[in-house]
Amino acid sequence: MSESTNTFFQSDQVEQRPLRHALLLRLIGYLKPYWVGLAALLLLMAAGAALEVLPSEFTLRLIDHHLAQGTLSGAGPLLLAFLGFLALAFLVNLARYLLLAWVGQMAMLDLRMQLFDHLMRRSTHFFHRNPVGRLMTRVISDVQNLNEMFSSGFVAIVGDALSLIAIVVWMYLKHPGMATVALGIMPILLIVTEIFRRHASEAFRETQGRYAAIQAFLQEQLSGMSLVQLNAQEGRSREGFTLLNQKYLQAFIRTIFAYAVFFPVVEFITSGILAALIFYAGFKLQSGALTLGLLLAFIQQSGRFFRPIRELAERYNVMQTAMASSERIFHLLDNREAIPEAPDARPARFEREIRLEEVSFAYEPGGREVVRDLSGSIPKGRRIAVVGHTGAGKSTLINLLMRFYDVGSGRITVDGEDLRTLKVAEARGLFGLVLQDVFIFSGTLESNILLDRPKDVNRLADVLTQSQMEDLVGRLPEGLATQVGERGQRLSAGERQLVAFARMLYGNPQVLLLDEATANIDSETEHKIQRVIEQVSHRLTTFTIAHRLSTIREADEIWVMDQGRIVERGTHEALLRRGGVYAGLVRLQFGEELGTVPGI
Ligand SMILES: Nc1ncnc2c1ncn2[C@@H]1O[C@H](COP(=O)(O)OP(=O)(O)OP(=O)(O)O)[C@@H](O)[C@H]1O
Ligand SMILES: [Mg+2]
């Protein structure tokens, strides 16, 4: 099993933890802005609880005053009042549900937005370590679990408690003896519920963890589907999926088993209570100390009484799930992995040169250094090309210049100012980045060029010309408004590159950072791209990881990288004459193309 798949079998396991007050308090914080709604909700619930006992009053009166006399005459007003009560209960419940949904959804919306904003600010490193599927689960399922806790856990428990209080008070007011009989068996029910809770909750939590694992696995496999199919990995993917499903099933069966035992047992106990009530009432009815109506009303109420208690176990599970979810959410929110910006960060200016001064860098702290003691200067207006074998650390240099990562030691300066002392967004704004793989968002061609920047028609037209995109736009059925499909599937690799150039140019950067595509691009587009680069490089400083001979030849200076160091530097001709690493590399990569070049 590959390393990435392995994480699905380990991650998202939720540990057994009691409900934690700190977590709860933090969650309640999200309800604060909606406290008015919440207060109204509490009032409505109290009203609902009081209304719970009213039906029994009707039962009592109807039976004792009318049915026991063998006639329904005169019961009209009572029935009317009952209809009125039903209408009132309906309204109270309606308002309650609406309010509940509103408060819950508003709070969840806030949380989801907060999570999203938080994710937007995390560093590149963070995203390398957290699979997309897992982050999706946080924002979607875990937040949903919290909503459930709010609606069927938290608030429902308060509502149930209010109902229970109303019923107990009613029972004792009506007949303390009967009340004692009905409530006497309660401890047994509570003990059974507690035993169940212990058994079920562990299995339940495991089920949740397994479920999240399935989601994450599915997300990754579907995203990489073409790769899976290309390598005929369907069988292995299937095996992985089967294994995850089996584990989920086992956990699920354990949960279901606990429920399957619990409910019949509770049913049995409830019947016992009914039997005791009837048995006790049998004596009292004879002595006239109790009426038939009261007995029926008590039976009715005790039915209502046990429902919330039975559900308590379920509510507890909802709370447990939500606690686990909130723990994961807060863990994510507390992750501060971001590129730090000094409070006194300065605006970024680039007039003279960008320097790398003895820069070393490792992706993992204490890990292998992929850039080592590297120094170099990128003067304004110059064209630097970087060449080297795969894994030499070329793309890493771009990551460091863009400050996706901070250097381990040494420093990068812009006009003599340490990059880390500059405003992050401004420093990044100096650079226009075009990478090997261009990411295209689903949406229109135009939105992919503008991103979230305001639309400037002139600049857009300008950028389209500069990036040689006019033909492409003219060819597309709806021009700039054409939907490019998810991840730009409707564009060829070359066209995507052109879009990336347009996107970069629209930001009006000062330095072009280009990681040339190694993917196959048709020769017509290839020429276009070359022309774009040529034009751009007259205006901008360019720092290009070069895979094209043309780029290399045009460069003012070539840095030859090997294992994180610059081993040679100079112009194409000078380096060729030297006959070192560069000459070898060029012969290897461009041997045929160079056949006509004298000196090789
Ligand atoms: N996110 C990352 N986490 C850990 N190691 C990484 C990461 N990205 C790259 N590396 C490692 O750093 C080294 C340099 O990678 P880099 O991407 O800079 O190479 P490159 O010179 O751009 O190669 P190529 O020509 O194939 O693009 C490689 O050994 C690579 O495995
Ligand atoms: Mg690279």
Residue 350: its pLDDT value, please?
92
Asked if 171 and 177 touch (Cβ cutoff 8 Å), the reply is: no
Q: What are the residues whose beta carbons fall under 8 Å from the beta carbon of 298, sequence distance 6 or more?
A: 56, 171, 174, 175, 178, 182, 277, 281
Ligand 1 atom having least distance to the Cα of 128: 1
Residue 510: its pLDDT value, please?
92
Nearest CA to ligand 1 atom 12: 370
Residue ranges of the chain with per-residue pLDDT less than 50: 1-16, 596-600
Q: What digits encode the pLDDT tens for the residues 65-110?
A: 888 777 777 778 888 888 998 899 899 989 998 998 899 889 989 9
Nearest CA to ligand 1 atom 26: 390
- Ligand 1 touching residue 564 (CB < 6 A): no
Nearest CA to ligand 1 atom 16: 393
- Ligand 1 touching residue 365 (CB < 6 A): no
The ligand placed nearest to the CA atom of residue 123 is 1
Q: How far is the CA of 62 from the centre of ligand 2 (A)?
A: 84
- Ligand 1 touching residue 395 (CB < 6 A): yes
Q: From CA 327, how far away is CA 142, in angstroms rounded?
A: 10
Paired sense of beta strands 541-545 and 511-515, if any: parallel
Q: How far is the CA of 361 from the centre of ligand 2 (A)?
A: 15
Q: How far is the CA of 205 from the centre of ligand 2 (A)?
A: 42
Q: State phi, psi for 566 to the nearest 5 degrees.
A: -90, 120
Q: How far is the CA of 390 from the centre of ligand 1 (A)?
A: 8
- Ligand 1 touching residue 393 (CB < 6 A): yes
Nearest CA to ligand 1 atom 25: 390
pTM > 0.75: yes or no: no
Ligand 1 atom having least distance to the Cα of 389: 25
Nearest CA to ligand 1 atom 17: 395
- Ligand 1 touching residue 539 (CB < 6 A): no
Q: Which of 137, 178, 553, 81 is nearest to 332 (CA)?
A: 137
Nearest CA to ligand 1 atom 9: 396
Q: What is the DSSP letter of 70?
A: T
CA of 277: how far to CAs of 285, 307, 424, 502, in Å?
Answer: 12, 17, 74, 81
Token pair 């209010």: residue: 162
- Ligand 1 touching residue 394 (CB < 6 A): yes
Taken in order of first residue, the domains within the chain and their CATH numbers are: 22-333 (1.20.1560.10), 353-594 (3.40.50.300)
- Ligand 1 touching residue 128 (CB < 6 A): yes
Residue 4: its pLDDT value, please?
40
Best of 371, 374, 390, 396 for a ligand 1 pocket test (most atoms within 8 Å of beta carbon): 396
Q: How far is the CA of 384 from the centre of ligand 1 (A)?
A: 20
Residue 518: its pLDDT value, please?
66
Q: How far is the CA of 394 from the centre of ligand 1 (A)?
A: 8
Q: How far is the CA of 544 from the centre of ligand 1 (A)?
A: 16
- Ligand 1 touching residue 390 (CB < 6 A): yes
Nearest CA to ligand 1 atom 2: 363
- Ligand 1 touching residue 368 (CB < 6 A): no
Q: What digits encode the pLDDT tens for the residues 189-198?
A: 888 888 887 8
Residue 10: its pLDDT value, please?
43
Q: How far is the CA of 395 from the centre of ligand 1 (A)?
A: 7
The ligand placed nearest to the CA atom of residue 363 is 1
195-199: list long-range contacts, CB under 8 Å, 24+ apart.
196/258, 196/261, 196/262, 196/313, 197/313, 197/316, 197/317, 199/258
